[in-house]
Amino acid sequence: MIPLTLAEIAAITGGSVPPGAGLVTGPVVVDSRRVTQGALFAALPGEHADGHDFAQAAVAAGAAGVLASRPVPGVPAIVVPDVTAALGVLARAVLGRLPAAIVTGITGSSGKTSTKDLTAQLAERLGPTVAPEGSFNNEIGLPLTVLRAAESTRFLVLEMSARGIGHIAALCDIAPPRIGAVLNVGRAHAGEFGSLDAVAKAKGELPEALPAGGVAVLNAGDPRVLAMAARTAARVVTFGRDGKPDVCAEDVRLDDLGRASFRLVMPDASAPVTLRLHGAHHVPNALAAAAIAAELGMDTPAIAAALSEATARSKRRMEVRERPDGVLVVNDAYNANPDSTRAAIEALGHLTSGGRRGFAVLGHMAELGDIAAESHEEAGHLAARAGVTGLIAVGEEARPVLDGARAEPGWHGAAIAVPDAPAAVDVLRNQLRPGDVVLVKASKAAGLWEVADGLLAEVSR
């Protein structure tokens, strides 16, 4: 963070000024274990603990002060009514002091983190870049990321998530983007939104927030995203595999591990790309990243080279590992919604197209509201159509997956329900043969990466 005194931070956030002449040199943290010398500790109420209980420990560990919603004895605290809101105000003020930093916002129902990670790896070639760790994409994670920016920062690549109308507009108020990319409008959080049109309304707040001199990067293959061209003052650049976009991929091929090679076609030039990420669904993500990087000033050969070297920075998204016995484990258990599940099962279908046997371990897809049962059934249909040898549903909520598969005519695989991750590992232990492929996928709450970890640990023993 740019250095600020506690008094300056109090003035920016409208909080009380603590005694002393504390100077915050950063970072701003919400976890007292991450405090370093000169940090500002923001005390947030958590699910299991109250940040205020850790304020003294934070200061003892070197924090210059605390942003809090009530005084804490013996601690230099800036007291504000709402710590989360104050983080946003502070982030906005810090950005205001960094006029040279270009903010890019990325939203969509699936692929935000993957695209953010790709885009950051391109932007880093051009200059100092700040991007969130993992999926820091909400009213807390986004300001914490912005607050990592320093005088030298040229690019901020931010992930913006929405669980409701107005959320992205609020994030754009904290960090006004010059470039905004919308990847897709899908069924993530369908329970909260109620309809795809409501999702589109929420995601469209990003192009709406862009200035006339800005750029809206829109997926031409998603009609609800393309329609956002009418909701922005910014210049529109389109990407995608369909619909004559400005940035597209020609001759897309997948290797035997599902990694895409293609010709990146930009308005002025084209160049070959081979991605290190697994699954055809990363092609549109790469195209969005390419479109953004071009706007930041990168030429096509440099974009293609950087995309080809970019790695999956965030964990548990289509992580493909081969065990010593030749079993391939695909850990996509970071999260799931109907669209990312379809993408993962399609990738499994590709990985098994050369004759390998496929197994899908699917758990609960959360937050789907009324479409929960049909979405799980659909996943079962897709797995059966992909020809899986075994389909394992983990947990009661995932059971409709098995009904979907059993209803698929001509499917003769095994459909098995298990209560939890260890039981899934037990079932697979006796089934797997060298060369088999196992996909593991569910929403975060299901914690199914334990299945992938368990399967990988089996053979290294």
In the complex, the smallest distance separating the C-beta of residue 105 from Mg ion, rounded to whole angstroms, is: 13
User: What is the Cα–Cα distance from 143 to 85, expressed in whole angstroms?
Assistant: 10
Residues 304-307: contacts with CB under 8 Å, at least 24 apart: 304/264, 304/271, 304/272, 304/273, 305/271, 306/121, 306/122, 306/125, 307/118, 307/122, 307/264, 307/273, 307/275
Least Å distance between CB 334 and Mg ion? Answer: 8
Output 80 or 453, the one with its CB closest to ligand ATP: 453
Residue 54's binding partner, choosing from Mg ion, ligand ATP, none, with beta-carbon cut-off 5 to 8 A by kind?
A: none
Interface of this chain with ligand ATP, residues 129 to 148, rule: CB under 6 A:
135, 137
Of the candidate residues 319, 339, 378, 436, the single one contacting ligand ATP (CB under 6 A): 339
Which of the residues 111 through 130 are near Mg ion (CB under 5 A)? 112-113
φ/ψ of residue 98, rounded to 5? -125, 65
CA distance linking residue 83 with residue 43, whole number of Å: 7
**Token duo for residue 141:** 């994670």
Among positions 153-212, residues that touch ligand ATP (CB under 6 A) are 161, 183-184, 188
Residue 384 vs 442, nearer CB to Mg ion: 442
Residue 13: contacted member of Mg ion, ligand ATP, none (CB under 5 to 8 Å, by partner type): none
Positive or negative torsion for Cα 407, 408, 409, 412: negative
Distance CA 373, CA 426 (A): 26
* Residue with Cβ nearer ligand ATP (332 or 436): 332
Query: Which segments of 211-297 are extended strands (E)?
Result: 215-219, 235-239, 248-254, 259-265, 270-278
Asked if residue 335 binds Mg ion (CB under 5 A), the reply is: no
C-alpha 172/C-alpha 2 separation (Å) is: 21
* Residue 267 Cβ vs ligand ATP, minimum distance, rounded to whole Å: 22
Which residue number places its CB atom closest to ligand ATP? 111
Q: Are 236 and 199 in contact (CB under 8 A)?
A: no
Binding ligand ATP (rule: CB under 6 A), the pick from 246, 332, 346, 450 is 332
Interface with ligand ATP by CB under 6 A: which range of 62-70, 82-90, 241-249, 276-284? 276-284
Instruction: Restricting to residues 342-371, name those near ligand ATP by CB under 6 A.
Output: 343-344
CB of 403 closer than 8 Å to CB of 295 = no
CA-to-CA dists, residue 439 to 341, 363, 374, angstroms: 10, 11, 21
What is the rounded CA–CA span in Å between residue 36 and residue 252?
A: 46
Question: Per CB under 6 A, which region of 28-36, 53-61, 295-303, 327-335 contacts ligand ATP?
Answer: 327-335
CB-CB neighbours of 73 under 10 Å:
7
Helix (H) or strand (E) holding 205: helix 205-209
Residue 112 or 342: the one with the smaller Cβ distance to Mg ion is 112
Rounded Cα–Cα distance for residues 353 and 192 (Å): 37
Q: Which is nearer to Mg ion, 9 or 310 (CB)?
A: 310
DSSP characters over 24-35: E-S-EESSGGG-
> From the list 52, 178, 203, 281, which residue makes contact with ligand ATP (rule: CB under 6 A)?
281
Q: Assess 340 for contact with ligand ATP (CB under 6 A).
A: yes
Quote the least distance from Cβ 222 to ligand ATP, whole Å: 10
442-455 burial: b if 16+ Cβ within 10 Å, else e: bbbebebbbbbbbb
User: Residue 332 touches which of Mg ion, ligand ATP, none (CB < 5 to 8 A by kind)?
Assistant: ligand ATP
Angstrom distance (rounded) from CA 73 to CA 344: 51
Site string for ligand ATP, 284-313 (x = CB under 6 A): xx----------------------------
From Mg ion, ligand ATP, none, which one binds at residue 450 (CB under 5 to 8 Å depending on kind)? none
- Taking the complex as a whole, the smallest distance from the CB of residue 284 to ligand ATP amounts, in Å, to 5
Output 112 or 259, the one with its CB closest to Mg ion. Answer: 112
When CB distances are held under 5 to 8 angstroms depending on the partner's kind, the choice from Mg ion, ligand ATP, none that residue 443 binds is: none
- Closest of 371, 421, 419 to residue 399, by C-alpha: 419
Interface residues with ligand ATP (CB under 6 A)?
108, 110-114, 135, 137, 161, 183-184, 188, 279, 281, 284-285, 317-318, 332, 334-335, 339-340, 343-344
Interface residues with Mg ion (CB under 5 A)?
112-113, 135
